[in-house]
Amino acid sequence: MHQKSYRTEYARVHGLGVAHDGVGHWWQQRVSAVGLVFLTPFFLFPFARALGSDHETMVATYQNGWNALVAILFVITAFWHLKLGLQVVIEDYIHDKAVRTVCLVVNTLLTIAFGAAGVFAIASIAFSA
In a domain, 109, yes or no: yes
The pLDDT tens digits of the residues spanning 15-30 come to 555 555 658 888 999 9
Domain harbouring 56, CATH code? 1.20.1300.10
* pLDDT recorded at residue 129: 63
Number of domains into which the chain is organized: 1
The pLDDT tens digits of the residues spanning 30-86 come to 999 999 999 999 999 999 999 999 999 999 999 999 999 999 999 999 999 999 999
Domain that holds residue 85: 23-126
Contact 29, 71 (CB under 8 A): no
Please name which of 104, 87, 69 lies closest in space to residue 28, comparing C-alpha atoms.
87
The pLDDT tens digits of the residues spanning 92-114 come to 999 999 999 999 999 999 999 99
* pLDDT recorded at residue 23: 81
